[in-house]
Amino acid sequence: MKKKASSVETGELQIKNKGDYSQLLIPLISLLVLIIFNVIRDVGFFNISIISNNQGYKVLSGNIISILNGASELAILAMGMTLVTAACGGQDISVGAAAAIAGSVFVKILRGGGAITPGLVIVAFLACCAVAVVFGAFNGTLVAVFNIQPMIATLILFTAGRSIAYWINGGATPTVTSPIINALGGFIPGVPVPTPIFIVAICGIIFALLFKFTNLGLYTQAVGINHRAARLNGINTTWVKLLSFMILGICCAVSGVIAVGRLGLINHETLLLEIEMDAILAVAIGGNALGGGKFKMAGSVLGAYAIQTLTTTLYAMKVPSTSIKAYKAVVIILIVLLGSPVFKEAANKIKLRFTGGKEPVTVEGK
C-alpha cells in the first residue's frame, strides 16, 4: 500500500495526463467493439426514427435511445459506486435493495395523499432521498466508524433491504398512475428524448461541479490511497467515507424513482434486482481500481453504457433465455482481462518496443 502510494506521489506529475487518458481506453474500446460488432451484424442497428407514441407526441426511437435510456439507473448508481469504491476500497452491494426501499417510500407517499400534484412528487422525492441517505449513513457508519469491510457491512442491508421495502407497501405490487410519474420515467410531453437520459446528464453535471468547486474528489482520492496519511494531513477520513455512502444513497433514491417512473409500479422483489453486480462491474470496466484510490467517474459511466449495449445486443441476437447470462459472462471476462494489470503491462511493453521509450511507469489506478 505505502509503496504504491509513494510511487504515485513521485511519478504523478509526469503520468497524470497519460493516466487519465489510458484509463478511459478500456471502456471506450469495449463500447467501440460492441458497436462495430452490431453494425456488421445489422447495418440498421443504430438507426434512429421519429415516431408518434400512444399519447400522440413525437418521440425518438431506436436501439441507441434504448441503450442510453435503459442504462440510466445503472449509470447513476455507477457514479455513486465509484465514489464509495475510491474512498473505502470496497463496494456497496446493497444499492439494489436501497433503491427498492427508496422507491417504496416514493410510491407510499404518492399513494397516501390523494391527487398527485407536482408538489407532492417533490415532497415524495425529497422524502425518499432522506430515507436513502439514512440507510447510506448506516452503511457508512459501519464502514467508516467500525472499520467493517464494505462488502460485509452492506451485506446487512442487501439481506434485509427488500424485506424493509415490503413493510412499506405490503406484498402486492402497488401502482401509481399519473402523467407526472410517466414523464419521470418516460417522456415529458413534447420532448422527444426520454427523461432518464436528462436525469443522468444532470447527475453527471452535479458531480462535475462538485469535483471542480469542492475538495470532494481530491479528499476521496487521498483517503482511498492512504487513509492514515490523509488523516495526518488533516482530512477527516471518517467523514469522507461516510459522505461517499450518503451520496451513493442519493444515487439509489434517484435510480429508484426512475425505475418506478418507467412503469408506474413498484415490485420490491424485482426492482433493480442484481444491479449492484452490474454497478460494480461498471466501475471495474471503467478502469477504476476496486481497491480504492484514484478514480474516473466518466469511466464508470462508459462502463455502464457498455454493459447495457451488451444486454441490448444479446436481446437483438435472440440469444436463448437459458444461456443469456453465460454469453454475458464470456464478454465480461474478455473486457475485464483487457483491463487487467498483466494485459496492460504487456501492452505497455509492445508500445515501448515501437517508441523505444524510457523506463515504463506503472499506473495501476493508484
Partner 1 sequence: MKRAISLLLAMMLIFALAACGGGGSKLIKVGIINNPPSESGYREANVKDFETVFTEANGYEAKTAYSLNNDEQLNAAQQFITDGVDYLLISAAATTGWDSILADAKEAGIKVFLFDRKIDTDESNYEAAVVSDMRQEGETAVAWLLGQGLDEYNVIHIQGAMGSDAQIGRTGPLDELFADGTMNKVVQQTATWDEAEAKSIVESVINSGESFNVIYAENDGMAKGAVAALDEAGITHGVGGDVIIMGFDCNKWALEELLAGNWNYDGQCSPFQAEVISGMIKTLEDGGSLTAKTVISEEKGFDATTITQTDIDTYGLG
Name the site residues for partner 1 (rule: CB under 8 A): 42, 44, 51-55, 59, 61-63, 66, 70, 163, 166-167, 170-175, 186-187, 259, 262-263, 265, 267, 269-273, 311-312, 315-316, 318, 320-322, 324
Q: How far is the CB of 300 from partner 1 (least distance, A)?
A: 21
Of 237 and 312, CB closest to partner 1? 312
Q: Tell me whether residue 127 or residue 265 sits nearer to partner 1 (CB atom).
A: 265
| Distance in angstroms (rounded) separating the CA atoms of residues 154 and 133 | 14
Choice between 82 and 255, CB closer to partner 1: 255
217 or 264: whose CB is closer to partner 1?
A: 264
In the complex, least distance from residue 30 CB atom to partner 1, rounded to whole angstroms: 20
Q: Which three cell numbers stand for residue 286?
A: 471503467
Helices (H) and strands (E) in the chain, counts: 15, 2
Residue 184, H or E segment:
helix 179-185
**Strand pairing class (58-61; 49-52):** antiparallel
In single-letter form, the type of residue at position 124 comes to A
Residue 187 Cβ vs partner 1, minimum distance, rounded to whole Å:
7
The least distance separating partner 1 from the CB of residue 143, rounded to whole angstroms, comes to 28
Cβ 175 to partner 1, closest distance in Å?
A: 5
Residue closer to partner 1 (CB basis): 24 or 193: 193
Q: Which is nearer to partner 1, 318 or 358 (CB)?
A: 318
Please give the full DSSP string across 304-334, using - where no structure is assigned. HHHHHHHHHHHHHTT--GGGHHHHHHHHHHH
Q: How far is the CB of 223 from partner 1 (least distance, A)?
A: 35
